[in-house]
Chain A
């Protein structure tokens, strides 16, 4: 009990009482049914603060053989099954390389993409690209590589005629919400996901519906 009390006290100190209550409510509800509130966000303008890539990193979209090569290293967190699924959907991986080593990457999809829970897929809608699975290798953390990679990928997609990137963060993942806001993402709506007795239900807010962003069952 004391440990829980300490954690609540720490949470109130770091994110405030309202957010702590929100987090506790969601955690309690998830003991009964799966419930998630997905904060949906987009970025449509390049943030110049992240548009410069520090040396010696080079940024590029990785090809299938390059991905398979990097996937063989478990430290890169790209298992074969994940790669097979992503490549079959023609998703793209934009990465920062340090020499021939993988430093950071993010995946980008213009089509429906499986989320958590895996029986649901996110449809990015319109001319947006869904950004998912951001990763920075442990040797290269603390250099804002995720934000830089995402910004450079955004530049490329904008020149290809896309409107921007969309992504989501769970409403009680306060650290990530803060981080994406700093990168320049703007939250435009929420999608509520409820899964009870194995049946998923979703409801998108007006902002999400306007942009065509939705979450639907995978089948």
Chain B
């Protein structure tokens, strides 16, 4: 970072900045060993292809697995176990989407995994929206027990049900609640693909602007 021309007032207190910099705990950090860096990059590129999950191929076997590989594998196991346990505790064996919950029909959705929240977002367009398999306008009835429950008032796409629930492991659900700004009693426009809520502005608090975009996106489908 050498150019700082886009920050008005960026350096209006150079003395304070210098004082903070003097306390920089990384100022004495030695550069990384070039061999280690090369190995790390090779590991990342060899072990993980562009679209693969972090699982090694049969060909690569277990040779030369880096600590990263084991870390990712352990994380995957914890995630799978967590999702499984969550499923057992919360859903029993009833995982159909949509399902009949007593007299009410329910569409069950998931929150995206944590990586989704690090993605760069494009401005939502009618075209992106129109590719969503489910889209509705609804109000949050409850956020409790790891589930956000919405009462839909209108479905733009997908099979209408009485309720829509979003369930996810705690961390993912918290991230989703933050990303979409879900709040008790709030009205939202929510879209999803393959049972997973779409973020990046595609699901958001109700606004006339976004409602117009939803209407335009799904006009041909109604």
Same complex: no
Residues of B in contact with A (beta carbons under 8 Å apart): none
Residues of chain A having any CB pair with chain B under 8 Å = none
